[in-house]
Structure 1
Amino acid sequence: MFDIDLGQTLLKFAQDTGFSVITWQQAVMLLVSCVLIYLAVVKQYEPLLLLPIAFGMLLVNLPMGGLMAEPTYYVAEDGTTQVQQVGGLLYYLYQGVKLGVYPPLIFLGIGAMTDFGPLIANPKSLLLGAAAQLGIFVAFIGALLLGFDVNVAASIGIIGGADGPTAIYVTSRLAPDYLGPIAVAAYSYMALVPIIQPPIMKALTTKKERNVIMEQLRPVSQTEKIIFPIAVTIIVALLLPSAAPLIGMLMLGNLMRESKVVDRISKTAQNELINIVTIFLGVTVGATANAERFLQADTLLIIALGLIAFAFGTAGGVLFGKIMYKVTGGKVNPLIGSAGVSAVPMAARVSQVVGQKENPKNFLLMHAMGPNVAGVIGSAVAAGVFLSMFAK
């Protein structure tokens, strides 16, 4: 009744599955993605971004899925260009990364969630945020010495700021082929802040310095909080126009928060908008980590340089904190300098935890938030410097 060759049918089915064409490189990447999912779910290392990044990595390394496939075109008889085959889902979502749309929107949400009061109350903490950018330039120079192209070196350097969106923004503009390994390195080190920073902080400070109890910060008026984002936007954008998208969106979000007149859109930026963009950004960035691009010697060097950058960033902030300790006659606890990297608010919490282990009566969180939010501004400024120098 039915003329079917069962053997040929089963053979064709087997040939149409991904199992028939999967490479060992793809298998390795699937394993790596599963490890990252484990770290996000079980260890809760920066799960909001690590989980979608890991799953995007998993999706793109499944053979024959075509989720990042580019569309194909043909020229019709009337001379018009027609779509022959549409691209994959993640290819279209990735355009928000490629065109530099997602990172500024992330900054909009971060600005809406951030209180710049501790920085305004203690402007000197801006210097700690600047000092913590040391890692960016150390990694940049190190990457150049290792033979990386200057654009790639600049992208690697930004990892030292511990600011994932900024690293993605710079890399998408300067070295898009390296987006996968740089993004994974940046977010991995952000997630490992509580593990990486404490040994460096303790090694560079004395017990006496770690025991310093800082004076309570002065109250900051709403007028100051409204003027601050406007002034920062004008000054930074005039000095570094290429930093305007990041700084502008960061400060717009903060102005919406502090003005108290647009609570509805401020809450949207803090919640729905940043959550949606985080999903798109994470999955599509992970999808750039395909086996052919990721499993190279360059990737291991990038991960190593990222760790060096992060370590030097932490050290730079702490060492400048020691200088401020000396200059102020022992009124500044150098531990808050480690919060100058822009992993908000995790780095500030680490300063608090390390300080309280030395002295349970020590409360450094609000003092550490000053250099912490200064680090966000500092990494965006560093990004602007690199873009103005190297972007075509």
Structure 2
Amino acid sequence: MQIFQGFLDALKGLWESSGFMQLTWQNYAMIVIACVLLYLAIKKQYEPLLLLPIAFGMLLVNLYPDIMGAPHINLVEIASMDDPAAKGHVIREIGGKIFYEDPTYGGLLYYLYQGVKLGIYPPLIFLGIGCMTDFGPLIANPKSFILGAAAQIGIFITFIGAIFLGFTPAQSGAIGIIGGADGPTAIYVTSKLAPELLGPIAVAAYSYMALVPIIQPPIMKLLTTKKERAVVMDQLRPVSKLEKIIFPIIVVIICAIVLPSAAPLIGMLMLGNLFKESGVVERISKTAQNELMNIITIFLGVTVGATATGTVFLTPKTLGIIALGLLAFCMGTACGLLFGKLMYKFTGGKVNPLIGSAGVSAVPMAARVANKVGQQENPGNFLLMHAMGPNVAGVIGSAVAAGVLLSVL
């Protein structure tokens, strides 16, 4: 009988420690959302390198919340400082009583998340992006800077809107930066301005980056005509190696002097690009754009997804942030397109307005989407290289916008 009772007690303990007793309806809702995102990443291939680790991190933390648990210290009371149980522990005396510290350790993803929280991962991501980015289209067509800057207007429109909705200026700046469609920049700014919002803002920024093929095309077709989308642009001029080497040096000097707060992001981006274009550090360049970039992407994606616990994520405030982030991204896309239409008018129809949508910082997905939509109207229209100009300008523009927000706020 005693053995049977012990067996029942073991089953009871197993049941009480299982997810069926520990998880809430919010956790189950987030598990469903994570599975949907996994479907989009695997089946639809929407930025799988980002969306798959984010979705799996989301799934994991809602199944086992302690994987993001923070370490803490338990105080255990003892009779005297000579108590054998306290050997090797820090002993404290509080209110005439003696305790020893019994530390517990945090979950695996808690420690990996420190790279996000401390702003370490974003500059390293920018280093890898710089190694993979060709600034040639931007150098060949400097007017692309205008489109990259125009797409950042959505950041500041949303910033103002968030203030009117009751968010603090610092929180509003962190929410607005989602409009740049640049996950590393959004994480970097939020870690400085509003770390309490880091989870929902990071998830929103990376999710919208991954969902560019869904979000942008309807806006592009709404704001442009069939004739404008079918415009075939002239081939870009060749860019010399000297120009490509000088460009990152000049950009980092100007940006670091004018906006020192943007130097970590811009500096790493331009350092990576200089690795690539100099041609003398090929081994370092390959490491930064492959092994280092892949490792940081895994850590960043999984830990960002792991911030999306049901109890934190499914709240009116968090859902409001997600909605404002979507508005910021849509506004950035729209502003880039509208400036593209202005350039179409001023150049007598030589600029396809679709390349303006690539002014957001989702490299190279936004440029690919602009090219795809253009080819739907004219199969012989190849806009990819033209769209890469505003796209890489958007990377610089989002970092500059981040520097402005950090300097002001």
The reply to whether TM is greater than 0.5 is yes
What is the CA-CA distance between 1:78 and the residue it aligns to? 7.7
Instruction: Quickly say closer, same or farther: Cα 1:13–1:359, change in 2 above 3 A.
Output: closer
Q: Are residue 244 (structure 1) and residue 263 (structure 2) matched?
A: yes
Aligned partner of 1:184 in structure 2 is 203
Instruction: Specify the SS of the correspondent of 1:227.
Output: helix
- Contact kept, 8 Å, 2:91 with 2:100, in 1: the verdict is no
Q: Are residue 220 (structure 1) and residue 234 (structure 2) matched?
A: no
Aligned partner of 2:63 in structure 1 is 62
Aligned partner of 1:45 in structure 2 is 46
- Contact kept, 8 Å, 2:30 with 2:62, in 1: the verdict is yes
Instruction: Quickly say closer, same or farther: Cα 1:197–1:22, change in 2 above 3 A.
Output: closer
What is the CA-CA distance between 1:320 and the residue it aligns to? 0.9
In terms of mean alpha carbon deviation, does 112-121 or 2-11 score higher? 2-11
1:285 to 295, 304, 313: 304
Q: Distance in 2 between matches of 1:307 and 1:257?
A: 34
Aligned partner of 1:195 in structure 2 is 214
2:91 to 67, 73, 77: 77
Percent identity, please: 72
Instruction: Quickly say closer, same or farther: Cα 1:205–1:23, change in 2 above 3 A.
Output: closer
Aligned partner of 1:35 in structure 2 is 36
Aligned partner of 1:296 in structure 2 is 315
Matches within 5 A, 1:48-197: 48-63=49-64, 66-73=66-73, 76-77=90-91, 84-197=103-216
> What TM-score, normalized to structure 1?
0.94
- Contact kept, 8 Å, 2:313 with 2:319, in 1: the verdict is no
Letter of the 1:12 counterpart = G
Instruction: Quickly say closer, same or farther: Cα 1:77–1:306, change in 2 above 3 A.
Output: closer
Runs of 4+ in 1 over 4 A off after TM superposition: 1-4, 78-83
1:355 to 345, 349, 374: 374
Structure 2 unaligned residues grouped into runs of 5+: 76-88, 94-98
Instruction: Quickly say closer, same or farther: Cα 1:14–1:206, change in 2 above 3 A.
Output: closer
In terms of mean alpha carbon deviation, does 225-234 or 52-61 score higher? 52-61
1:186-230, CA deviations, whole angstroms, 9 ceiling, x for partnerless residues?
222222222222222222223332232221111111111000011
Q: Distance in 2 between matches of 1:189 and 1:224?
A: 33
- Contact kept, 8 Å, 2:145 with 2:390, in 1: the verdict is yes
In terms of mean alpha carbon deviation, does 338-347 or 357-366 score higher? 357-366
Q: Distance in 1 between matches of 2:240 and 2:345?
A: 30
What is the CA-CA distance between 1:2 and the residue it aligns to? 8.2
CA-atom RMSD in angstroms: 2.0
Instruction: Quickly say closer, same or farther: Cα 1:357–1:15, change in 2 above 3 A.
Output: closer
Aligned partner of 1:20 in structure 2 is 21
Q: How many residues align?
A: 389
Q: Between Structure 1 and Structure 2, whose CA radius of gyration is higher?
A: 2
Instruction: Quickly say closer, same or farther: Cα 1:368–1:77, change in 2 above 3 A.
Output: same
Q: Distance in 1 between matches of 2:221 and 2:239?
A: 32
What is the CA-CA distance between 1:68 and the residue it aligns to? 1.4
What is the CA-CA distance between 1:353 and the residue it aligns to? 1.6
> What TM-score, normalized to structure 2?
0.90
Q: Distance in 1 between matches of 2:229 and 2:388?
A: 17
